[in-house]
């Protein structure tokens, strides 16, 4: 799988402040790529550079193998975090205007708009002014404007903020469908659960530097600590604890279970899971045995606070 | 359609469709005419007659005060001064002119008093001084044994006729007309810059507060957006001016028909004011007006208008980009308004007295004032090389300022939060 976007050692400074310090990223074609990082990490700076809103001080960016240039504006769809529309302009006119700015002809823009308005069930809004719409409704329009010109690369900055759960789900499905159709999606967000759910690749930027990048599973594998969550029914708790603490690091755990079992979190260190199972089966009945996979949230917090 | 025309079109339509634009466009000529009619009506009202008491102990001057529409002089020399003072409020008199008895005119000239509750106008006091002074002079002549009639006849009065090198006779008062024509053009430019510059600024701020800006500039270059905004807004302004001109002309004709005014009245009035043979003089005025460099005037109006408007409105756009709301813009607006005001003042004071003097010439070269000052000078005939230099400087500055403004604009539109300082603006230039 080739990369649709290659960011090579991009540096961006504002006066004395370095917003991006030699950041490199590779976004594979057809992926949903989560761009993570705390506030002020440099995500927006990077996104603005990819959108050619600002220029990098040094470094190169390749889009689909070509050096980034003005014509690529048409290949990118961008939904900024700070979003808005002309309040006193009518929905239809506004969409046409923004679509034409992305290089679509008026006829083509109209055709696409009809398709999307139909799809999102907002047909009746064409002649309404934005100021007459609710925030969530305006967000839908905004989403349409972003994807209208069928870009290869979509960049969503906090796409679900401002949507109610129903609409958020609708948008999520649309995003997945766009991916099915071949688009690549870069996703910048703080909402880790949506990252877990949607992303197959992630990158973490912190204090202007990229700290982590890769497939979500690879990253998780790298961050796993060989820790297992165990539930066990036993009559001899002391004996079990004695055996376990001889070999492993044990701490209490909490997870949902129907049994009145003993819940433990056990770090194996260099040992393998069979050794743990062996100890456990000798002392009681195992009701729960799961490797503790680090969540994106854990990885995020662990990396950022280090 | 290119992106720039797309932006221009949107800006134009957004401005023109705005309710306040429509109201302003069709209401202001009506308002203007109504105001003019109101002022005209007010001036036909006779102001209250002011009654002045004269207490002349010398008995020398009382008969020299002529009654006018505005002032009535009443001789109360026989009544005691204190009684007059007491009655001034009750009898609604404006004031008392008190001339004490004094044998020596020299001494008397410093002893005369005007007593009143409200301070009188300067011109009124000057008139009084003039009347008394003249009478005293005659009295002095008589006391010295001089023949006043001989002196009067000996006094010479000169009226200089104005002629150009080319031999044509010119008319007096034409300078004023020239200043009015040039001034009107200069003033128009100033108004346009302030009104539409502000509109550009508001439109930039609107995009910022709407937060649509980031979407837009992910599709177009900030420079394109800024220029599109400036051009689109100016086209809306030009449309407004054209409508005003048309509506104004129609209203003027309607009004003149309605009030039965004759179109030729102003010309004949001017001519009769300048004296003899007014038909011939009127002819002279008209031919002089025709001789004004109208072509130069109109074409340079256009050039200076474009240069000045673009220069200023790009600064307005930069300010709009730098701030989050209109209230914050005040601090940055003052330096813009100042040179505009300066241009108008210089135009009216310096150009009128000395159209080709150093001050007028210098300020018609400085780009921030040249659109106004140079336009006021042009009716007086400005050498072509001066216009050329001035226009060159104006457009060079224009390109520099647009470059400079677009830098601030580019950074500013994505900055939210605190109001920037001058120092920060300078830093943005280097981003």
Interface of B with A in 66-105 (CB under 8 A): none
pLDDT level of residue B417 (50, 70, 90 thresholds): low
**Domain limits for position A203:** 3-221
Instruction: Tell me, yes or no, whether A272 and A252 share the same domain.
Output: yes
Q: Using one digit for the tens of pLDDT, what is the confidence trace for A93-147?
A: 989 999 998 888 989 999 999 999 888 888 888 888 888 888 888 888 888 999 9
From residue B23, give the alpha-carbon distance in Å to each of A265, B241, B248. 74, 14, 15
| Whether residues A121 and A68 fall in one domain | yes
pLDDT of B287 over the 70 cut? no
Is A305 a member of any domain? Answer: no
Weakest mean pLDDT among B166-170, B227-231, B322-326: B166-170
How do residues B288-328 score in pLDDT, each as one tens digit? 666 666 777 778 888 888 888 888 998 898 888 888 777 87
Integer Cα distance of A66 and B94 in angstroms: 90
Residue A260's domain is classified under what CATH number? Answer: 3.30.70
- How long, in residues, is chain B? 431
Architecture of domain B50-157: 3-Layer(aba) Sandwich (3.40)
**Judgement on whether residues A233 and A202 belong to the same structural domain of the protein:** no
User: Would you say residue A277 lies in a domain?
Assistant: yes
Residue A302 lies in a domain: no
C-alpha neighbours within 13 Å on the C-beta side of residue B364 = 29
CB-based contact A14 B431, cutoff 8 Å: yes
- Whether residues A16 and A91 share a domain: the answer is yes
CA B318 to chain centre: 29
% of chain B at pLDDT higher than 90 = 4
Q: Does residue B257 register a pLDDT over 80? A: no
Higher pLDDT: B113 or A154? It is: A154
User: Please, which pLDDT band fits residue A186 given cuts at 50, 70 and 90?
Assistant: very high
pLDDT at position B272, please?
Answer: 44
Q: Which of B270, B305, B304 is nearest to B176 (CA)?
A: B270
CB atoms within 10 A of CB A222: 11
How many other β-carbons are positioned within 10 Å of the β-carbon of residue A19? Answer: 23
Cα–Cα distance for residue pair B227/B23, rounded to 1 Å: 26
In this predicted structure, what is the pLDDT of residue A153? Answer: 92
Q: Is residue A39 part of a domain?
A: yes
Q: Structural domain boundaries of chain B?
A: 50-157, 174-428
Q: What is the structure's pLDDT at B418? A: 61
Whether residue A29 is predicted with pLDDT greater than 60 in this model: the reply is yes
Total domains, chain A: 2
> What's the CA angle centered on B325, arms B322 and B330, to 5 degrees?
75
Q: How confident is the model at residue A281 (pLDDT cuts 50, 70, 90)?
A: confident
Q: Is the pLDDT of residue B351 over 60?
A: yes
**Residue B286: per-residue pLDDT:** 66
Asked if the structure places residue A300 within a domain, the reply is no
What is the predicted pLDDT for the residue at B267?
A: 46
Task: Tell whether A84 and A187 lie within a shared domain.
Answer: yes
Question: Does A152 share its domain with A168?
Answer: yes
Q: Give tens-digit pLDDT for B401-411.
A: 888 888 888 78
Q: What local confidence, expressed as pLDDT, does residue B281 receive?
A: 62
ipTM passes above 0.85? no
State the DSSP code for A227: E
CATH code of the domain containing A57: 3.40.50.300
pLDDT at residue B277, rounded to an integer: 54
The confidence score (pLDDT) of residue A184 equals: 93
Q: Is the pLDDT of residue B171 over 80?
A: no
Same domain (yes/no): A243, A210? no
Does any CB of chain B come closer than 8 Å to the CB of residue A268? no
Choose one of A221, A247, A264: the last residue of a domain.
Answer: A221
In a domain, A10, yes or no: yes
Helices B330-346 and B294-322: crossing angle in degrees, nearest 10, is 160
Do residue A115 and residue A21 come from a single domain?
yes
Nearest alpha carbon to residue A151 among A181, A121, A172: A181
Pairing of strands A153-157, A209-215: unpaired
Question: DSSP readout, B303-336?
Answer: HHHHHHHHHHHHHHHHHHHH-SSGGGGHHHHHHH
**Residue B261: its pLDDT value, please?**
47
- Residue B228 and residue B238: Cα distance in Å, rounded? 15
Let me know if residue A16 belongs to a domain. Answer: yes
Q: Tell me: do A250 and A129 sit in the same domain.
A: no
Q: Which residues on A lie below 8 Å from B431 (Cβ)?
A: 14-15
State residue A60 phi and psi, 5-degree precision: -125, 155
**To probe the interface with A, which of B4, B13, B214, B221 has the most A CB atoms within 10 Å?**
B214
**Other CB atoms within 10 Å distance of the CB of residue B259:** 9
Residue B269 has pLDDT above 70, yes or no: no
End position of a domain, from candidates A221, A242, A267: A221
Domain end point (choices A221, A236, A258)? A221
Q: Where are the alpha helices (DSSP H) in B18-145?
A: 19-44, 81-90, 105-108, 122-143
**Sheet order of strands, A201-206 included:** A76-79, A153-157, A184-188, A32-36, A201-206, A209-215
Residue A243 has a pLDDT of 83
Residue B143: C-alpha distances to residues B136, B147, B327 (Å): 10, 10, 72
From the list A80, A86, A89, the residue facing B214 with the nearest CB is: A80
């Amino acid at each position: 799988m080739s990369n649709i976007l290659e960011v090579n050692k991009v540096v961006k400074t504002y006066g004395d402040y370095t917003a991006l310090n030699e950041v490199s990223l590779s976004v594979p074609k057809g992926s949903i790529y989560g761009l993570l990082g705390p506030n002020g990490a440099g995500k927006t700076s990077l996104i603005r550079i990819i959108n050619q809103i600002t220029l990098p001080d040094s470094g190169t960016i390749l889009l689909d193998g070509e050096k980034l240039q003005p014509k690529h504006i048409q290949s990118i769809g961008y939904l900024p975090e700070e979003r808005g529309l002309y309040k006193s302009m009518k929905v239809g006119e506004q969409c046409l205007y923004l679509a034409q700015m992305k290089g679509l002809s008026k006829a083509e823009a109209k055709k696409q708009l009809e398709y999307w308005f139909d799809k999102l069930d907002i047909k009746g809004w064409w002649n309404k002014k934005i100021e007459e719409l609710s925030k969530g409704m305006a967000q839908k329009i905004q989403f349409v404007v972003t994807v209208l010109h069928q870009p290869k690369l979509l960049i969503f900055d906090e796409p679900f903020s401002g949507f109610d759960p129903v609409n958020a789900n609708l948008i999520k499905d649309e995003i997945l469908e766009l991916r099915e159709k071949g688009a690549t999606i870069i996703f910048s967000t703080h909402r880790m659960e949506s990252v877990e759910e949607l992303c197959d690749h992630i990158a973490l930027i912190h204090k202007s530097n990229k700290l982590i990048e890769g497939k979500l599973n690879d990253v998780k594998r790298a961050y796993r600590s060989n820790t297992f969550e165990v539930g066990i029914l036993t009559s001899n708790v002391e004996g079990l604890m004695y055996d376990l603490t001889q070999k492993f690091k044990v701490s209490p755990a909490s997870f949902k279970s129907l049994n009145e079992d003993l819940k433990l979190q056990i770090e194996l260190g260099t040992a393998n899971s069979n050794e743990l199972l062996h100890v456990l089966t000798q002392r009681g009945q195992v009701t729960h045995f799961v490797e503790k996979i680090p969540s994106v949230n854990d990885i995020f917090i662990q990396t950022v606070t280090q | 359609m290119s992106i720039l025309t797309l932006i221009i079109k949107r800006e134009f339509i957004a401005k023109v469709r705005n309710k306040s634009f429509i109201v302003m466009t069709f209401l202001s000529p009506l308002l203007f005419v109504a105001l003019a009619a109101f002022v005209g009506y007010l001036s036909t009202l006779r102001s209250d007659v002011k009654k002045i008491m004269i207490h002349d102990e010398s008995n020398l001057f009382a008969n020299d005060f002529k009654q006018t529409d505005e002032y009535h002089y009443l001789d109360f020399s026989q009544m005691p001064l204190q009684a007059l003072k007491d009655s001034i409020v009750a009898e609604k008199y404006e004031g008392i002119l008190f001339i004490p008895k004094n044998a020596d005119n020299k001494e008397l000239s410093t002893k005369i008093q005007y007593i009143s509750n409200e301070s009188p106008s300067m011109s009124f006091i000057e008139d009084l001084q003039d009347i008394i002074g003249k009478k005293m002079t005659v009295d002095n002549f008589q006391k010295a044994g001089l023949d006043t009639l001989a002196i009067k006849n000996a006094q010479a009065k000169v009226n200089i006729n104005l002629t150009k090198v080319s031999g044509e006779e010119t008319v007096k008062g034409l300078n004023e007309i020239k200043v009015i024509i040039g001034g009107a053009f200069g003033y128009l430019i100033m108004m346009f810059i302030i009104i539409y510059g502000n509109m550009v600024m508001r439109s930039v701020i609107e995009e910022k507060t709407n937060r649509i800006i980031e979407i837009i500039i992910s599709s177009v270059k900030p420079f394109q957006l800024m220029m599109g905004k400036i051009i689109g807004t100016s086209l809306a302004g030009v449309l407004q001016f054209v409508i005003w001109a048309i509506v104004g002309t129609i209203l003027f004709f309607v009004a003149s028909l309605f009030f039965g005014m004759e179109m030729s009245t102003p010309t004949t009035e001017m001519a009769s004011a300048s004296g003899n043979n007014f038909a011939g003089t009127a002819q002279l005025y008209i031919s002089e007006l025709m001789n004004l460099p109208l072509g130069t005037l109109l074409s340079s109006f256009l050039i200076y208008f474009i240069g000045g408007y673009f220069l200023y409105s790009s600064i307005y756009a930069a300010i709009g980009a730098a701030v989050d709301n209109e209230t914050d813009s005040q601090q940055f607006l003052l330096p813009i308004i100042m040179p505009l005001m300066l241009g108008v003042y210089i135009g009216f004071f310096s150009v009128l007295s000395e159209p080709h003097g150093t001050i007028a010439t210098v300020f018609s070269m400085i780009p921030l004032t040249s659109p106004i000052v140079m336009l006021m000078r042009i009716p007086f005939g400005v050498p072509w090389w001066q216009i050329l230099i001035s226009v060159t400087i104006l457009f060079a500055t224009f390109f520099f300022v647009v470059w400079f403004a677009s830098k601030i604009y580019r950074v500013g539109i994505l900055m939210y939060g605190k109001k920037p300082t001058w120092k920060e603006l300078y830093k943005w230039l280097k981003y």
